[in-house]
């Protein structure tokens, strides 16, 4: 991955987080974070 692609990818992620903060009060990000924690606990159980 080149530096330009990395910068564009980080910019898109930050833009999505900013839009979620402005329009949804971070509810979508918190939902995804909680689901990721559940997934990591589920994977750790099967390890």
State residue 8's pLDDT score.
Answer: 97
pLDDT (tens digit per residue) in 12-38: 999 999 999 999 999 999 999 999 999
Q: How far apart are CA 9 and CA 4, in angstroms?
A: 9
DSSP 1-47: --HHHHHHHHHHHHHHHHHHHHHHTTHHHHHHHHHHHHHHHHHHHH-
Q: How far apart are CA 16 and CA 32, in angstroms?
A: 13
State residue 45's pLDDT score.
Answer: 77
State residue 46's pLDDT score.
Answer: 73
Domain boundaries, the chain: 3-46
């Amino acid at each position: 991955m080149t530096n330009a692609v990395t910068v564009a990818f980080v910019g898109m992620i930050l833009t999505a987080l900013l839009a979620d903060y402005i329009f949804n009060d971070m509810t979508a990000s918190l939902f995804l974070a909680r689901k990721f924690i559940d997934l990591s606990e589920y994977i750790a159980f099967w390890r």
